[in-house]
């Protein structure tokens, strides 16, 4: 190699970093779910569109599988701009922006379709705006679909009485502890990443979530009974740190909003396919799906809706009216 070539090789990384760093905004996106999960796939696609449409002014890198921390930690990171974007369950946002708890109430949506109609419409936008307009330095852009949550346990729950005294993991939101306790269980809050070993060691008797999470986070290895209570249908906001948002040009902000909204619509088809496939895989792995009368669960959680929902009476009425 000639001296000139050596010089060129040595200077190349520097030259490259100069050309990208000046105007480039690097987005780290944090996800608790593993690669291949519907939210991750839709968000990666969104990132590719962002990179392409911004002509390289924006770069996007997905950090899946919780490598950047729990959802609670990642939300804190996003608030200070150390993580630029993330998608979290609304359950986690409730303690930070209490106004969003209207969607976190048990049985507030009639069914999955109802939830989708609500998040696609003006109420969905209003709740995103509540997050954006709060003091928490986040911009909420779109909703991912996290399906319907039901109970999964190590011993079968065939009626609400069976749940009595069972230690059930919920997300860290007081509303969910109250909900689980109202249903007769013993609610225990912990991060997603702790559930697998807590189930194995018997620290908890069960948890509550959707089929893709039961499968992909391997909880089914210990919890073989899935009782279809459908008590929560939690949409999942995609948020950007306001610190990052403010570095974008108005055109880039519009672009981010557009591709996030496209991801919202795209993820839903992925979700439906993944849910069906997960259900089949879980059944093949010996998980029993138990149909249960939902009314006792609905009735038992009425005081929770009263306690947390009194302040949202009008909004709840509008949600119920969405057809």
Task: Tell me if 171 contacts ligand BDP by CB under 6 A.
Answer: yes
Please select the residue that binds ligand BDP; options are 27, 88, 131, 175, rule is CB under 6 A.
Answer: 88
Mark residues 53-72: x for contact with ligand BDP by CB under 6 A, - for none: ------------------x-
Task: Tell me if 236 contacts ligand BDP by CB under 6 A.
Answer: yes
What number of chain residues touch ligand BDP (CB under 6 A)? 11
Stretch near ligand BDP under the rule CB under 6 A, chosen from 18-26, 99-107, 208-216, 284-292: 208-216
Task: Tell me if 84 contacts ligand BDP by CB under 6 A.
Answer: no
Task: Tell me if 89 contacts ligand BDP by CB under 6 A.
Answer: yes
Length of the chain: 323
DSSP calls for 175-233: HHHHHHHHTTSEEEE--GGGHHHHHHHTS-SEEEE-HHHHHHTTGGGT--EEEEEEEE-
Stretch near ligand BDP under the rule CB under 6 A, chosen from 129-137, 175-183, 209-217, 303-311: 209-217
Task: Tell me if 192 contacts ligand BDP by CB under 6 A.
Answer: yes
Nearer to ligand BDP (CB atom), residue 75 or residue 163: 75
CA distances (Å), 96 to each of 55, 61, 131, 137, 193, in order? 35, 26, 9, 11, 20
- Which stretches of the chain bind ligand BDP, using CB under 6 A? 32, 71, 88-89, 146, 171, 192, 209-210, 213, 236
């Amino acid at each position: 190699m000639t001296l000139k070539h050596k010089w060129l090789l040595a200077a190349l990384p520097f030259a490259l970093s100069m050309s990208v760093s000046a105007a480039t905004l690097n987005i780290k996106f944090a996800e608790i779910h593993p690669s291949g999960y519907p939210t991750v796939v839709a968000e990666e696609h969104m990132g590719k569109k962002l990179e392409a449409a911004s002509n390289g002014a924006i770069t996007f890198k997905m950090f899946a599988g919780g490598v950047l921390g729990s959802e609670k930690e990642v939300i804190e990171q996003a608030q200070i701009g150390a993580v630029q974007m993330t998608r979290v369950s609304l359950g986690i946002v409730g303690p930070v922006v209490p106004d969003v708890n209207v969607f976190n109430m048990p049985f507030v949506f009639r069914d999955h379709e109802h939830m989708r109609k609500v998040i696609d419409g003006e109420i969905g936008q209003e709740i995103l705006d509540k997050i954006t307009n709060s003091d928490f330095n986040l911009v909420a852009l779109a909703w991912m679909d996290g399906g319907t949550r039901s109970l999964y346990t190590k011993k079968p729950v065939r009626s609400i009485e069976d749940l009595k005294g069972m230690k059930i993991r919920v997300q860290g939101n007081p509303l969910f502890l109250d909900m689980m306790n109202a249903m007769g269980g013993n609610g225990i809050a912990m991060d997603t990443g702790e559930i697998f070993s807590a189930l194995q060691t018997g620290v908890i008797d069960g948890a509550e979530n959707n089929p893709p999470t039961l499968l992909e986070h391997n909880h089914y290895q210990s919890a073989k009974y899935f009782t279809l209570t459908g008590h929560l249908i939690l949409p999942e906001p995609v948020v950007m740190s306001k610190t990052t948002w403010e570095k974008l040009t108005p055109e880039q902000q519009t672009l981010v909003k557009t591709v996030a909204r496209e991801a919202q619509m795209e993820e839903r088809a992925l979700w439906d396919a993944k849910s069906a496939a997960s259900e089949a895989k879980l059944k093949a792995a010996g998980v029993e799906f138990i149909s249960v009368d939902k009314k006792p669960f609905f009735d038992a959680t009425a005081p929770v809706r009263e306690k947390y929902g009194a302040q949202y009476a009008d909004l709840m009425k509008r949600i119920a009216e969405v057809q």
